[in-house]
Amino acid sequence: MKGEPENIKLDQVSGFSLVYDYYSPLIWKHIFLRVSLKEEANDLTSEVFLKTWDYLNSGKKIKKIKSFLYRTADNLIVDWYRSKKRVSSLEQDVSEDENSLVQDPLLEDKIIVSEEVESLMKKIDRLQEKERKILLLRFVDELEIEEISEILGKSKGAITVAIHRALKSLDSLMKND
């Protein structure tokens, strides 16, 4: 992405603030698509940046901040799934939005799109965790192969093959339904 704060001195508050401002929406989206709960995504995103700040304050250096942030987010997501029971995001959204429904001329279109997205996400949820993660990193987070390679600690060739296989698996699920 153009304008990424990749080469900023992170040992300064202003530099870290720029990194936070740029990456926090991206990290939040990445986390939210994995945990499906807004409050948990907010908490985990905060924790990603807190852990990053603590890491930097311990005197350690980070070569590639983007990779570090995504790797930290992935580790926290794994920890979250280990320690929490999963709650349906649909139930949460319904309870939050029950009283706020207003007559909207585009509501029907929004519902149709929402149902299509929900259907696709259900199919993605049926993929193996490795396949799901790699598709989200590539197509939702819009990361380059090289960035995914750094985050997952695998070669670019292995990432390319994994994306191809995950897409084949998703295509198979879509054709079977």
Task: Indicate the helix (H) or strand (E) that contains 166.
Answer: helix 156-176
Task: Please indicate, yes or no, whether residues 123 and 75 belong to a single structural domain of this protein.
Answer: no
Residues 82, 8 share a domain: yes
69-100 tens-digit pLDDT: 999 998 898 888 877 654 444 455 555 555 44
Q: pLDDT tens digit string along 134-163? A: 988 888 888 899 999 998 999 999 999 999
Question: What is the gyration radius of the CA atoms in the chain, in angstroms?
Answer: 18
Q: For residues 12 and 78, state if they share a domain.
A: yes
Q: Which residue segment(s) compose the domain that 112 sits in?
A: 106-177
Confidence (pLDDT) at 87: 45
In angstroms, rounded to a whole number, what is the distance separating the alpha carbons of residues 144 and 158? Answer: 13
Tell me which residue of 68, 61, 69 sits closest to 10, measured CA to CA.
61
C-alpha span between 55 and 45 (Å, rounded):
15
- Please count the structural domains in the chain: 2
Q: Number of C-alpha atoms within 13 angstroms, CB side, residue 13?
A: 0
User: What pLDDT sits at residue 84?
Assistant: 63
- How does pLDDT run across 26-38, given as a tens digit for each residue? 999 999 888 888 8
Specify the CATH number for the domain of residue 164.
1.10.10.10
Type of residue numbered 173 = L
The domain boundary residue, chosen from 23, 52, 87 = 87
The pLDDT of residue 127 is above 60: yes
CA distance linking residue 1 with residue 56, whole number of Å: 24
